[in-house]
Each structure stands twice: as structure tokens, then as C-alpha cells.
Structure 1
């Protein structure tokens, strides 16, 4: 095992890994070595017709091999959280710890409460494209009354891929076959964080995972939601929590 934590970071469907995790890397500094892994759904200019979560899980496995990492800490946000939960259930021997901020969804059969939320979200997104799609996607995932900042500046070519990529992920989530009970045998510790301004569905997912993982810590952060800038999520406080999480996991893994 390395002298410092080896950490693979997977972003969500909006910001690429370098942008998503830049603030976290700045706060952690030399106390960990980071390996950034972007989503396969954005590898080409448009998502492949046969895109699947299996593709993301297999790509993450290959990425770890390419870095000569037999085991590692996994950090994920939003859609990357779904992929990381799937990876952890399938390749649990490779994961030293898992750290999630508001995973987009939990793999496997949905509870009635989850199903109601996602059915409504998919219904509202159906038929929308471009800016209209993004506006609805964002609006539906924060609490009522939360003020959202409008986008600033021109839209980059990379960001123009996002609506199609998000739609591909939303379609791929229910197609991925997964038994949630597989998470019960995961020995690695889990850190689950969410913002108190995000939709209540985030707290629902925290409760579900707390009943599945044998070792999980849940923390709610005040004044933030799913779409605040990364620096508002990955603060020095958040970085300290992760460093403590990684150190405890490495001691347990020895």
C-alpha cells in the first residue's frame, strides 16, 4: 500500500473531473495522490447508441489497472456516484473506501419513493432539449424556493454535449441490472454527503444506503445543493472529512 492515499475521482454528468475536483485537490494538496477519470458517455462528440453503465464500470476497472492500482479510494459525484456504487458492488476487493456526494441514483430495484421521484423527473424531461432540458434538470433536483444562479458566459463546446450525455445516463440507469443486497457484503467504509438545499430525495437515498452498507457515515452540509459551484462543496472542512475517512479506511485495510 502506498504511503499516501491513492484516490480515483469520478465526476457527474455536468462538469468534467478536473473542474469538479479542482477545489478538493487544492485543499488536500500532497496528502493524497489523485487520479481523475471522466465519464465514458462523453468520450465521443455524442453518446454511442449502445451506451451502458457496464461500459463505465469496465472502463473504471481498466483505468485503475492503467495506474497500477490494485486497490484505491473512490470519490464520486452525482452520475459518477451511481457508477461507483455499481463498481463497489461488483469489484469490492478493489475499493478501500467510497466517498459520495449526492449520487444521482442507487443501482438496483427502486423503492416506491424513489420510483415516484424518478418517474416524475423523466416525465418532465421528456421531449426537452438543450437549454430547456438543462433548466428543468437542475430545477427539479433542488428544494422549492431555492434560488439558482443563471449560467454565465458563452456555452463551451464541451458543455454542449451535456444534455445528450445526461439523457443517455438517465436511460442507462434502469437498464443496469444490480442486486442492492450485494452492498451488504462490502467491507469498505462509505462517506455519504448531501446538501440541505437539495431535493429531499437525497436524504431518502442516504437512508437506503445506511440500511445496506455495514460501515457508513452520512453528513448533511448546510447552505448547498447539487448544483452549487464545486468550491462550495469541496471546502477545507469537506477535505478534512475525506482525509480522516481515507486514513481510517487504510488502517482497517492493513
Structure 2
């Protein structure tokens, strides 16, 4: 039996290696998984004309380099938004889709609270750099959620790229046309994993709206987790079991 072919996209902060290291260790045999870094951070600044399609094109190049006509796609946060865009633009390349709290899920049917939240995101670019990340993180969780403390010592070199990269994602979310009809035509299994302590105005809204779009959709909630204590890092064994079941079911439906 051929191994399961999987590409995993990280979010806008951690590189792919530390983002998915714990999960990769427990996926078990029979999984050929690639944790792919974002095209956004390939250079010192976001590439000119970068969009969610830039990330999708990078995923397809990675798959082509491995000789994969089709594959399973997993995306967290900003990578989840890029994964949604790829599911809409190239549905035939994907065997399944798994979303770990996508940072954005289209611009339709927003609740008033979701709309207000995105207005607050739009104000982040005016903040000094030392205030940007704490404010960015706090918007994504419930008021009583405990955010992780910064690691000791100086920040890693890659962190200097993150404010510009996050702003590039936020700008893309304002302008990208994620076609709801094309997304609805994606009929392969979709798994959405949600932290119960993440902002209901963002992730709860995303999960509910996507449930009305996809025909084969499953939601899994991790009650004590949130966007910066995400299930794939905090509970990799459970996430691995869910993903393997998701992929196995998708393979059986092909």
C-alpha cells in the first residue's frame, strides 16, 4: 500500500519545523508528510504581489517535486486560509482538507461580532512593533485565555519578518476573492479542529460558516486549547489519530 501523501502548512508565526514537529513524530508509519514553510518568508520581505495563491502555487510545486498528482492538505491559521484558497482553485489536486483554526475563511455571511473583530485587526498596523504581537495574539482568544509567555532570551532571527508577514496576510484577507461556489464544489472530506478557548467571534464564526459550505464536513473541538496553544502542538496524539482517520476515510471514498 502506498503511503499517505500529506503537505502541512504552518501559520504566520512559527516556521513549519517547530510548528509541526510534535505532530510529525506521532503520525506513525505509512504517512509521507512534508511540513512546508510559507512562501511569504522565503526572503527578507514579502514577495512582490504575494497573495494566498502564491502559497497555493508553492504547495503545488512542492507536490510536483515529489511526483504527487494528489495529496492530503493540512493548514493552520494563515496556512489554513491558503489551504482553503487552494481547495477552491485546484480541488482535483487534493484528496482531503484539514483545517486547524484557519485565520480567515472568506468574506461572506460575517456576523456583526466577526465584522467588528476584523475592524480591530485593521488597526494593528499602526501599533509599534513591540505592541503589535501581543495585541495580535489577544484578539484571537477569549478574554480569560492564558497566552504563552515569550521564550527567554532574544527573539529568533525569523521573528523580525513576522509583523510584515502578518500584515501581508491581513491585507490579502481584505482583497482576496475566495469564491464560495467553487469552495462548495469541493466534495472531499473536510476536518476542522477548533480550540474551545479561541475567539468565538473569529474561529467559531469560521467553523459555522464553513459547515454551511462543505458537503462532507466534521468539526472537532478541543475545549482547553486556543490559537496559541493549538491542538497539533498541545495534543499531537489526538490530532494524529483524527488525521489518520480522516485521511483513511478520504482514501476509501476515492
TM-score by length of 2: 0.93
1:191 lines up with 2:191 in the alignment = yes
Q: CA deviation at 1:139?
A: 0.8
C-alpha root-mean-square deviation of aligned residues, in Å? 1.6
Residue 86 of structure 1, CA deviation: 0.4
Q: Which residue of structure 1 aligns with residue 68 of structure 2?
A: 69
- Structure 2: 5+ residue stretches without partners: none
SS, match of residue 161 in structure 1:
helix
Is 2:214 the counterpart of 1:226?
no
Output one character per residue of 1:68-107: Cα deviation in whole Å (capped at 9) or x when no partner.
1100000110000010000001100111011111000013
Q: Deviations over 1:21-46 (max 9, x none)?
A: 11111111323111121111101011
Confirm or deny that 1:179 pairs with 2:179.
yes
Asked if the contact 1:23–1:230 (Cα under 8 Å) also holds between the matched residues in 2, the reply is no
Aligned ranges 1:37-116 → 2 under 5 Å: 37-109=36-108, 111-113=110-112, 114-116=114-116
49-58 vs 148-157, which moves further:
49-58
Distance 1:9 1:232, change over 3 A: closer
Change in 2 beyond 3 A, CA 1:230/1:220: closer
d(CA) in 2 for partners of 1:105, 1:219: 18
Is 1:239 paired with 2:240? yes
Q: Cα distance, 1:161 vs. partner?
A: 1.1
SS at match of 2:220: strand
Moved more, 217-226 or 229-238: 229-238
Q: Are the aligned partners of 1:109 and 1:179 in contact in 2 as well (CA < 8 Å)?
A: no
User: What is aligned with 2:17?
Assistant: 18
For 2:7 and 2:160, how far apart are their aligned partners in 1?
26
Residue 230 of structure 1, CA deviation: 6.6
Preserved CA contact (<8 Å) 2:232 2:239: no
The match for 2:251 is 250
8 Å CA contact 1:9–1:75 kept in 2: the answer is yes
Between the aligned partners of 2:44 and 2:20, the Cα distance in structure 1 is 23
Distance 1:37 1:74 in 2: 11
- Contact 1:108–1:180, Cα closer than 8 Å, also in 2: no
Q: Does 1:120 align with 2:120?
A: yes
Q: Is the 8 A contact 1:129 1:163 kept in 2?
A: no
Q: C-alpha distance in 2, partners of 1:40/1:98?
A: 20
Q: 85-94 vs 51-60, which deviates more?
A: 51-60
Match of 2:211 in 1: 210
User: Which consecutive residues of structure 1, in runs of 5 or more, have no partner in the other structure?
Assistant: none
TM-score normalised to the size of structure 1? 0.93
**What SS does the corresponding residue of 1:106 show, helix, strand or coil?**
coil
Count of residues in Structure 1 that have an aligned counterpart in Structure 2 = 251
